[in-house]
Amino acid sequence: MSRLAGLETPRLILDRSRLEANIARMAAAVGALGVALRPHLKTAKSAAVGELATAGRTRGITVSTLQEAEYFADHGFTDITYAVGIAPGKLDRAAALIGRGVDLKVIADTVDAARAVADHGAAFKLLIEVDCGDRRGGVAPDGDTLLAMAEALATSKTARLDGVLTHAGHSYGVADPDEIRRIAEEERVAVVKAADRLRAAGHEIRTVSAGSTPTALFSRDATGLTEYRAGVFVFFDLDQQSRGICQREELALSVLATVIGHNREAGKVLIDAGGLALSKDRGANAFRPEVGYGEVCDAAGSPIPGVFVTSVSQEHGHVVLPDPALFDRLPVGSLVRVLPNHACMTAAAYPEYTVLEDGAPDAVWSRCNGW
């Protein structure tokens, strides 16, 4: 009988030994570059994971929502970067965290946002977001907006410019290690250039922040940076595995599901983990098109060769079987574990982790959701 028998499904499973090994790998990589690691806990959204990710190092963390910031502050994390552009309507809520003693850094990429921060009256620390090629957000490192934003902060009696921040999200779109290294250098050069321009204009710059999981792991030079931010490394996922960032054996997160039906005419079994339980992210398909919505493993976590979640309904996962003999291996009521495409998106459906130690349930860790 499976050691997971009796657990209700779908359920989010976290392998603690893999989690700890992944954290150690990232800490060693960033430590070798001589900068701090500020883990992005938008992936885990868990204080227990945060404790492990910061153990023995600075407790500085990154979050993506104010809900996360409040949750982690409640659990004793007081050095927090809120790494999503601040909207004026959220300044009061963010200021309440500062009032609680949280060292909160916010980011922006417009002069209007910088002025709103400057005029609010709270002791905000602002990081100017720099575009290093991802084209999601941020100002050009050699553009006029960078200096104009800094000037907007210069006369504030309460807020101050703390530094610059960038994110090489385009590193997720390549699978060649040399190309990832090129993007990592592109990321570094852009944000350091922005910091140097601001310093030359007379502004004090304390923080020069860069990072994504691929660039943090593959970078060869962090000169000029003060920290790397990375998040999905704590769990990894098929998206990262498909690009060669990690191996399948490093994937710490899976979804426990139950086989709920056989459709022999269609050549597939159904599981009780569908689009909501797995997410509809298909990121790994760019490099591993066979993956579909997740790779199916047995209850112990060993992959079943050639078996993937091929399509999803809201509460159904459709698993086309390459061999009819697999119907006998996967009877109705049997348990499987699905390795997710994108750990952050999959985990967002769940309020907690069932943590495995040596393959058996050992603990339940909370996580926060929402905004």
pLDDT at 35 over 70: yes
Q: For residues 234 and 250, what is the distance between their CA atoms, to the nearest angstrom?
A: 10
318: its two tokens: 């459709």
CA distances from 94 to 39, 46, 85, 121, 343 (A): 20, 20, 12, 12, 27
**CA nearest neighbour of 215 among 191, 249, 194:** 191
Q: For residues 168 and 299, what is the distance between their CA atoms, to the nearest angstrom?
A: 36
pLDDT at 58 over 90: no
Q: What is the pLDDT of residues 235-279, one digit of tens each?
A: 999 999 999 999 999 999 999 999 999 999 999 999 999 999 999
Residues 6+ apart with CB under 8 A from 188: 210, 219, 221, 222, 223, 224, 225
Compute the C-alpha angle 289/292/39, nearest 5°. Answer: 95
Mean pLDDT of 136-152: 97
Mean pLDDT of 32-40: 97
Q: Number of C-alpha atoms within 13 angstroms, CB side, residue 139?
A: 28
244: its two tokens: 């060669």
Phi, psi of 4, rounded to the nearest 5 degrees:
-100, 5
pLDDT at 19 over 70: yes
Mean pLDDT of 350-354: 98
Which residue bears the tokens 């009696």?
Answer: 157
Say what the pLDDT of residue 57 is.
81
Query: 2: pLDDT confidence band, cut at 50, 70 and 90?
Result: confident
Phi, psi of 69, rounded to the nearest 5 degrees:
-60, -45
8 Å CB contact between 141 and 194 = yes
Helix, strand, or coil (residue 294): coil
pLDDT at 301 over 80: yes
- Rounded to 10 deg, the angle between the 144-154 and 111-120 helix axes is 10
**CA nearest neighbour of 65 among 215, 209, 231, 191:** 231
Q: For residues 40 and 221, what is the distance between their CA atoms, to the nearest angstrom?
A: 21
Query: 358: pLDDT confidence band, cut at 50, 70 and 90?
Result: very high
Q: For residues 181 and 221, what is the distance between their CA atoms, to the nearest angstrom?
A: 9
Counting residues of the chain whose pLDDT is more than 70, the rounded percentage is: 100
pLDDT at 9 over 70: yes
Distance of CA 201 to the CA centre of its chain: 34
Say what the pLDDT of residue 1 is.
60
Query: 174: pLDDT confidence band, cut at 50, 70 and 90?
Result: very high
Q: For residues 24 and 29, what is the distance between their CA atoms, to the nearest angstrom?
A: 9
Mean pLDDT of 182-187: 97
Question: What separation, in Å, do the N-terminal and C-terminal C-alpha atoms of the chain show?
Answer: 40
Beta-bridge partners for 128:
108, 164
Mean pLDDT of 319-345: 97
Distance of CA 15 to the CA centre of its chain: 17
Q: What is the pLDDT of residues 201-230, one digit of tens each?
A: 999 999 999 999 999 999 999 999 999 999
Q: For residues 89 and 73, what is the distance between their CA atoms, to the nearest angstrom?
A: 21
Counting residues of the chain whose pLDDT is more than 90, the rounded percentage is: 97
Beta-bridge partners for 285:
none
pLDDT at 86 over 90: yes
Q: For residues 104 and 106, what is the distance between their CA atoms, to the nearest angstrom?
A: 7
8 Å CB contact between 149 and 197 = no
Query: 56: pLDDT confidence band, cut at 50, 70 and 90?
Result: confident
DSSP letter for each residue of 3-28: TTTT--SSEEEEEHHHHHHHHHHHHH
Q: For residues 300 and 314, what is the distance between their CA atoms, to the nearest angstrom?
A: 26
316: its two tokens: 């159904």
The one-letter amino acid at 87: A
Q: For residues 306 and 319, what is the distance between their CA atoms, to the nearest angstrom?
A: 10
Q: What is the pLDDT of residues 117-128, one digit of tens each?
A: 999 999 999 999
Q: Taking all residues of the chain, what is their mean pLDDT, rounded to a whole number?
A: 97
